[in-house]
Structures are given as structure tokens and as C-alpha cells.
Amino acid sequence: MTMFGVTQTQRLHAAVGGAGIANYTSFYGETFFTTFTLSLFGGTPYDDPAIYTKLSATTFIKQAKTPTLVQVGNGIRVLPRSRVSNSGAVCAR
């Protein structure tokens, strides 16, 4: 929620995200934990790409102004470290 929340409001002075998902399409393709996205979105990104794009923080990243600390640990199989690293790279631009 943090990754998406900071793109939707300017009310926060700072935010902390714990290994958040910034892009649900790439999350679906890189994790074994696809039941989460299937139950949340009702299908795969191939079935309904619009909903995956609409709810991904990277879609609205230009609106984010809140300084955000993103925390991630080693060995998190559900959320590959590359997903968090990529979201940081997008934010830095």
C-alpha cells in the first residue's frame, strides 16, 4: 500500500514501505506467489492488463513527492529483490 499510497496523495511528510510491490505485472511474472494477484485482480495480466497497470505504483510515479524508505531483506522468495530495486530506480528518475 505504501508504494501506491505515496503516488496518490501529497499529505504525507515521509513514508516507509516494507518490500512493496510497485508493478503488479512484473510481480506476477517474477514470483511464484501468483495466487495473490489472481485473487486480487480476478485474472492474469494477460486476461486484463488494464487493471494491473491501473493499480501499479509505477503508473503514477511522476506524482510521487513523498520521501520514501523502501526496506527489503535477503531471501524473500515471494517478492524478488529485483522488484524492489526496480521500483527504486524508477523513483530516482
Average pLDDT of the residues in 7-34: 83
Q: Is the dihedral of CA 15, 31, 85, 50 positive or negative?
A: negative
- The more confidently predicted of residues 87 and 3 is 3
What pLDDT does residue 77 have? 61
Does residue 89 surpass a pLDDT of 60? Answer: no
pLDDT tens digit string along 35-67? 878 888 999 999 999 999 998 888 998 888 889
Buried b or exposed e, range 40-56, using 16+ CB within 10 angstroms: ebeeebeeeeebbeebb
The answer to pTM > 0.85 is no
